[in-house]
Structure 1
Amino acid sequence: TFFFSLLAAQALFYPFGSAAGDTINAAVDDGSSPVIQLLSPFLFFGRTYWQIYVNNNGHLTFNQPSSAYVPYSFPTRGSQDIIAGLWTDLDNRLRGVVSYHQYTSGNVLTRATQDINTHFPNLNFNASWVFVATWNKIAYFNLTNTETSFQVVLISGHNLSFILMNYGDIAVTEHPVQAGYDTVDSTDYFVIPESINGSFISNRRNSSNVDVPGRWVFRVDGEPRNSILKSKSLIYR
């Protein structure tokens, strides 16, 4: 079972780690990347961003880094845009690597183009930029023997923007958790079903809104009616 789940995660995940040329976050509890200047703008529900932060606790922010280890409950109706792959109390000092990479050419763009056209077949989409953030085998705080792996992929091209969330093995936890996204004043938000309960969070590897176990995909450029492909979580047993 472990072998097959490993193969499934490898097939699902975009390239990551030192072999992919990733930049690696410092192993700091509740830490973040430095500000990352984007090579292409990312449109997120009407706001255009040229920078991003990859936070060790499993979420992305745009205007400032976040050390918050207790996730906000979406909708927060707050003052910032947040993309939460799996926002919880993670600790990369104990185990695992947080890393990121952005692409403007090559095989990753080809793959992103194919994925988006598969999931949104009527758009005739062509990716021009991809940002991949990966949390690989990260431990939960004070739980050294746990491993949790997931990935958030931002994809853009021709004023269209998408998020792919890829989930590998996710350890259960008693820490508060949150997966999905939220916007300024929560004008647009989504919570992946069962993602606020750490006892069920391991189901992320088997759930999807695009019939691909372990993957959730959203269009986020400002067309909320198209941002979620299916209203129900699909669980594969």
Structure 2
Amino acid sequence: MLAVFKRELFSFLSSAMAYITIGIFLLACGLMFWFFPDTSILEYGYAEMDGFFSLVPYLFMFLISGIAMRSFAEERKEGTYVLLATRPLTDMQIILAKYLACMVLVLFSLLPTLVYYYSISQLGLPKGNIDTGAVIGSYVGLFLLGSAFTAIGIFASSITKNQIIAFAVAVFLCFFAYSGFDSVSRISALEGVSASLVNLGINEHYQSISRGVLDTRDLVYFITFVALFLGLTKLAIGGRKW
């Protein structure tokens, strides 16, 4: 499993696509956070990163879908998955190796944004006037959100040979999982189950963790969500092998 993880990670790092995708993500974060008037922290005037943490989930949908789209789709297209499947590894070990490789790249994408926290801390009056606890909670929430989106991206890549289709399916599923349940809950005919529908969406649990409070229910939700989509990926791969 470690060999597959290293192979997948080095394959990502040796391709220009990974650097381009991460570079576009960081560029978009920088432009929205510092330069665009509607979202700029300089225009906002308060030493907090709430605007940043509300924007990143939507950028994550494209970043993570772009990273994960090649996981299985490229293997199937080039026929190399047959060689991978002959190794003494279970389907779940292969899936976890690819999943963890994608998560390392997501973590690499988040680390440079810590510069924003330091910059705002220095710009605040007085210096250091920023709610560090809320920022830490929000970063934990982003990491968990990234884990959920990565599981969706891996699943989307496992059901098609075309990377573009995998990317489109992953973006749609990420968007629906994040904000689709909130939109559906506003339908008047579903008013009686609106609270349950909201709890099914990722946004509710992400916002809860972003307040700086780590609730066990939120952690269980993300773990269950990831396990569900990795299980669906295993079914997709196992069905083709059969």
Looking at CA atoms only, which structure, 1 or 2, has the larger radius of gyration? 2
Q: Which has the higher strand share?
A: 1
Larger RCO, structures 1/2 (Cα 8 Å, 6+ apart):
2
Q: TM-score, normalised by structure 1?
A: 0.30
